[in-house]
Amino acid sequence: MFSNTLLTFAFLLTVLPVAFFEETCKRTFKVDYDKRTFLKDSKPFRYVSGSLHYTRVPPELWKDRLTKMKYAGLDAIQTYVPWNLHEPSPGLYHFEGNADLELFLQTAADVGLLVLLRPGPYICAEWDFGGFPSWLIQQNASTVLRTSDPRFMKPAVRWLSFLYEKLKKYTYCNGGPIIMVQIENEYGSYGVCDKVYMKNLVKIAKSVLGESIVLYTTDGNVAQDLKCGTYPGVFATVDFGTGQNVSQAFQPLDQMQKGPRVNSEFYVGWLDYWGSPHAKVSTAAIIKSLKNLLDYGASVNMYMFEGGTSFAYWNGADPPFKVCPTSYDYDAPLSEAGDMTSKFEAIRKLLGKYKQLSPMNPVPKNSTKLNIGPVKMTKIASITDTKHIVLAKSVYPISQEDLSQSMGFTLYRTNLSERFYQAILNVSGIRDRGYISVNGLYQGTVDRNENTFLNISGGKDQVLDILVENQGRINFGSQITQNRKGLISNVTLNNRILKNWEISRVDPLLVNAVNKSQCAKGPTVFEGVFKSPRELGDMFAYFPNWTKGQLFVNGYNLGRYWPKKGPQISLYIPSAILLSPGYHNTIRILELEEVDCIQKGHNIYLKNVPDIDGPTSL
Ligand SMILES: *[C@@H]1O[C@H](CO)[C@@H](O)[C@H](O)[C@H]1NC(C)=O
Ligand SMILES: *[C@@H]1O[C@H](CO)[C@@H](O)[C@H](O)[C@H]1NC(C)=O
Ligand SMILES: *[C@@H]1O[C@H](CO)[C@@H](O)[C@H](O)[C@H]1NC(C)=O
Ligand SMILES: *[C@@H]1O[C@H](CO)[C@@H](O)[C@H](O)[C@H]1NC(C)=O
Ligand SMILES: *[C@@H]1O[C@H](CO)[C@@H](O)[C@H](O)[C@H]1NC(C)=O
Ligand SMILES: *[C@@H]1O[C@H](CO)[C@@H](O)[C@H](O)[C@H]1NC(C)=O
Ligand SMILES: *[C@@H]1O[C@H](CO)[C@@H](O)[C@H](O)[C@H]1NC(C)=O
Ligand SMILES: *[C@@H]1O[C@H](CO)[C@@H](O)[C@H](O)[C@H]1NC(C)=O
Ligand SMILES: *[C@@H]1O[C@H](CO)[C@@H](O)[C@H](O)[C@H]1NC(C)=O
């Protein structure tokens, strides 16, 4: 595929230490291909597992969620490792807070769960850019992701070497919980069949984690996907949902591999998009298919067992550009807030027929929920009024990636050179949604999915502001390479290119109060407080009469709200981020469009029940 393949090889040979020494394992986990079973400490074994992404649950709640998964009767959990969270800029690693992967693995081990690790480097996961750091496409828009293109392979190998060195003490062989490590992720459906890339990924995993580590691949259960997604010597698994005839569903896999059968993503729920109805998978269908899988002797991972939340700006999008909302509840057996739903109870009951469920004392329970009621929000400033962090001054716009401003909001500002009335502002390069004002007067929005031009009016030397919202990068398919954000082409006003931009990062948390006037249109920061009650608990924020924006509580970025779009109406506020009883919690909201405040003041509401199944509008 690439002429530089040889170069890549030469690079790998010089960089990688090769594990020629004999490994000594404390414990063993193997695949017995002939007997179609796993062997755990030499005994036949099959697993029932569930997916939980540690980055989507506050670390304080990992133990709660994992304990509930153990209680459900699971043997193992499966998690992705998002490269972009852990390596925010080249060679700079982040493993704290919700990125503390070692703590997560240790907690899983403490609870008695095995781990199926999916380090990618590509993870899909409805996570920004499928887990890729946006610096991969900085300057080099032509880099071919998920191939042996050295501009991709070199940083990927560096990252995986670092990660595997850190995690090797957690392999089953070394006494830890990790029984299997996935190579790539549904690579067969990517459409690029670079076996050199696969070979490199296998090599780096084995050279650091040891020859004994069980590596696996996961692909759709069709021959075409299995052709490109699998690799000799790497254990192949498939994924499929409810309603399939199990023996038929495994047939394409059986044709290429004798061995235990594994469904690595048995869909017990499904993902949502803004503007599309909340997805659901029926419990009856799950129980029927899960029973068939278990009777067939298969191992299974339920995707997702607990979906959690794509906090802050971490949600992804599917092509052409369908954006996933903040909630990743996924209609999973454990809800976004970790509640044990009727789906959870039904699965636990079924698993109890196949194995001895571990008794638990105390029995896990749903979290406490708080019903605080209305919180009055006060306008503190228009976001464009206040101090920004200037990233660049440039004749023409620069993309967010080239500014090393991976996520969030970027302000593009220029001066108008003359007076304009109802002039056509053409922002065809908007990625993804822009909020436009002239001298602080809100003009409207442009959106890559809706309209990319807008009539504006303004005078000579007045300031034109385009606040650009990156709504999350595409995480799936070949369009993953076209993922630049901000303004990616010139902006014209009545067909004339606008020049001389000042480009800044804006942070709603850095805004100081400048204007106490209550009503506002356009991007505006509001603040409110509420007192922590005697017993802390989870809650859900509602935004009636608000339009679209971002919620922060005590400095934690809890994600995007957009109740007018649906289906997600409320945002999850986990108890873990609240201050101690009696203290005042601070809420900050960046409302991007408008809040109808004439009627009843602009309150938000903190309630004890979620609503992620509201009406939608496209
Ligand atoms: C971009 O690609 C070119 C050519 O392969 C390379 O010389 C350059 O270092 C790359 N830049 C970055 C930022 O990776
Ligand atoms: C599933 O397919 C197999 C093979 O085609 C068939 O023998 C079996 O009856 C089917 N099972 C069900 C439940 O339809
Ligand atoms: C736990 O929460 C779920 C989802 O809200 C609910 O269906 C279930 O009844 C709750 N369980 C208990 C014991 O309250
Ligand atoms: C706009 O004009 C003002 C006044 O001349 C100047 O201070 C400012 O830097 C200009 N802004 C941009 C983005 O060029
Ligand atoms: C935009 O301005 C043009 C003239 O520049 C006018 O023809 C058109 O009606 C305006 N559109 C709107 C929606 O105001
Ligand atoms: C905006 O610019 C793009 C790219 O130059 C062009 O294709 C499109 O027709 C323009 N739209 C309007 C309304 O001028
Ligand atoms: C903007 O236009 C200039 C002049 O035509 C061109 O050189 C430049 O590449 C364009 N920039 C973008 C981001 O399209
Ligand atoms: C405050 O905002 C109002 C309207 O939103 C505006 O008329 C007024 O000029 C602003 N005051 C200051 C000091 O910015
Ligand atoms: C929302 O606005 C409507 C009218 O615009 C008003 O009747 C209603 O009370 C408001 N709701 C809340 C919860 O503030």
- Ligand 5 centroid to Cα of residue 181, in Å, is 58
Q: Give me the pLDDT at residue 27, please.
A: 96
Residue where a domain stops, chosen among 457, 479, 506 = 506
Q: Give me the pLDDT at residue 566, please.
A: 98
Cis peptide before 567 (omega within 30 of 0): yes
Query: Around Cβ 5, how many Cβ atoms within 10 Å?
Result: 18
- H or E stretch including 435? strand 433-438
Which residue, 543, 536, 448, is CA-closest to 488? 448
- Ligand 1 centroid to Cα of residue 138, in Å, is 9
Amino acid at 277: P
**If you write DSSP's letter for every residue of 486-555 in order, what string do you get?**
EE-S--EETTEEP--EEEEE--GGG-------S--BSSEEEEEEEE--SS--BEEEE-TT--SEEEEETT
Asked whether residue 474 falls in the same domain as residue 450, the answer is: yes
Asked whether residue 491 falls in the same domain as residue 521, the answer is: no
Measured from the Cα of 421, ligand 5's closest atom is 5
Asked whether residue 219 falls in the same domain as residue 104, the answer is: yes
- Ligand 4 centroid to Cα of residue 550, in Å, is 29
Query: Around Cβ 614, how many Cβ atoms within 10 Å?
Result: 15
Contacts of 353 (CB under 8 A, 6+ apart): none
Asked whether residue 471 falls in the same domain as residue 571, the answer is: no
* φ and ψ of 342, to 5 deg: -65, -25
* 524 alpha carbon, closest ligand: 8
Asked whether residue 108 falls in the same domain as residue 255, the answer is: yes
Whether 479 and 410 have beta carbons less than 8 Å apart is answered as: no
The reply to whether ligand 4 has any atom less than 6 angstroms from the CB of 414 is: yes
- Ligand 7 centroid to Cα of residue 500, in Å, is 12
> Is residue 212 in some structural domain?
yes
- Ligand 7 centroid to Cα of residue 428, in Å, is 13
pLDDT tens for 475-533 read 999 889 889 999 999 999 999 999 999 999 998 888 776 655 556 689 999 999 999 99
> Is residue 113 in some structural domain?
yes
Enumerate residue ranges in the chain where pLDDT < 50. Answer: 1-19
Asked whether residue 417 falls in the same domain as residue 533, the answer is: no
**How far is it, in rounded angstroms, from Cα 443 to Cα 289?**
53
Q: Give me the pLDDT at residue 15, please.
A: 47
- Ligand 5 centroid to Cα of residue 498, in Å, is 19
Active site residue 527: no
Q: Helix/strand/coil (H, E, C) string of 133-195?
A: CHHHHCCCCCCCCCCCCHHHHHHHHHHHHHHHHHHHHHECCCCCCEEEEECCCCHHHCCCCCH
- Ligand 6 centroid to Cα of residue 94, in Å, is 42
The reply to whether ligand 4 has any atom less than 6 angstroms from the CB of 447 is: no
- Ligand 9 centroid to Cα of residue 469, in Å, is 27
Contacts of 96 (CB under 8 A, 6+ apart): none
**If you write DSSP's letter for every residue of 201-268 in order, what string do you get?**
HHHHHHHHH-TTSEEEEEEESSHHHHHHH--TTSEEEEE--TTS-HHHHTHHHHTT--S--EEEEEES
Residue nearest to atom 12 of ligand 5 (CA): 455
**Catalytic entry in 186, 306, 469, 527:** 186
Q: Give me the pLDDT at residue 6, please.
A: 40
* φ and ψ of 312, to 5 deg: 55, -120
Measured from the Cα of 135, ligand 1's closest atom is 13
* 251 alpha carbon, closest ligand: 2
Measured from the Cα of 423, ligand 5's closest atom is 5
- Ligand 2 centroid to Cα of residue 244, in Å, is 10
Q: Which residues line ligand 8 (CB under 6 A)?
A: 515, 517, 520
Measured from the Cα of 366, ligand 3's closest atom is 1
**How far is it, in rounded angstroms, from Cα 171 to Cα 166?**
11
pTM: 0.93
Measured from the Cα of 426, ligand 6's closest atom is 1
- Residues forming a β-bridge with 436: 444, 466
Asked whether residue 438 falls in the same domain as residue 519, the answer is: no
Residue where a domain stops, chosen among 473, 506, 539 = 506
Q: Give me the pLDDT at residue 132, please.
A: 98
Which residue, 257, 329, 406, is CA-closest to 569? 329
Task: Among 518, 526, 600, 602, name the best residue to mutate to test ligand 9's pocket (greatest count of ligand atoms within 8 A of Cβ).
Answer: 600
Residue where a domain stops, chosen among 449, 471, 506 = 506
Residue nearest to atom 6 of ligand 6 (CA): 428
* Domain extent for 538: 373-379+512-607
Measured from the Cα of 488, ligand 7's closest atom is 13
* 516 alpha carbon, closest ligand: 8
Asked whether residue 250 falls in the same domain as residue 338, the answer is: yes
Percent helix / strand / coil, the chain, rounded to 5 = 25, 30, 45
Q: Give me the pLDDT at residue 4, please.
A: 42
Asked whether residue 500 falls in the same domain as residue 598, the answer is: no
Q: Give me the pLDDT at residue 510, please.
A: 80
Residue nearest to atom 9 of ligand 3 (CA): 341
- Which CATH number covers residue 500? 2.60.120.260
Residue nearest to atom 1 of ligand 7 (CA): 490
Q: Give me the pLDDT at residue 538, please.
A: 98
> Is residue 409 in some structural domain?
yes
Asked whether residue 83 falls in the same domain as residue 174, the answer is: yes
> Is residue 359 in some structural domain?
no
Rg (CA), the chain: 25
* φ and ψ of 593, to 5 deg: -115, -80
Residue nearest to atom 1 of ligand 6 (CA): 426
> Is residue 438 in some structural domain?
yes
**How far is it, in rounded angstroms, from Cα 438 to Cα 459?**
9
> Is residue 617 in some structural domain?
no
Q: Which residues line ligand 3 (CB under 6 A)?
A: 335, 339-342, 366
Residue nearest to atom 13 of ligand 8 (CA): 515
Asked whether residue 395 falls in the same domain as residue 533, the answer is: no
**Catalytic entry in 265, 336, 401, 591:** 265
Active site residue 265: yes
Q: Which pair of tokens denotes residue 457?
A: 């009016």
> Is residue 357 in some structural domain?
no
Domain count for the chain: 3
Residue nearest to atom 11 of ligand 2 (CA): 245
**How far is it, in rounded angstroms, from Cα 356 to Cα 107?**
22
Residue nearest to atom 7 of ligand 6 (CA): 428
**How far is it, in rounded angstroms, from Cα 190 to Cα 342?**
36
> Is residue 66 in some structural domain?
yes
- Which CATH number covers residue 44? 3.20.20.80
**How far is it, in rounded angstroms, from Cα 541 to Cα 556?**
14
The reply to whether ligand 5 has any atom less than 6 angstroms from the CB of 455 is: yes
Q: Give me the pLDDT at residue 511, please.
A: 76
Q: Which residues line ligand 1 (CB under 6 A)?
A: 138-140, 151
Measured from the Cα of 374, ligand 9's closest atom is 13
Count, residues in the chain = 618
- Ligand 4 centroid to Cα of residue 415, in Å, is 6
Asked whether residue 149 falls in the same domain as residue 252, the answer is: yes
Measured from the Cα of 520, ligand 8's closest atom is 5
Q: Give me the pLDDT at residue 278, please.
A: 98
Q: Give me the pLDDT at residue 388, please.
A: 82
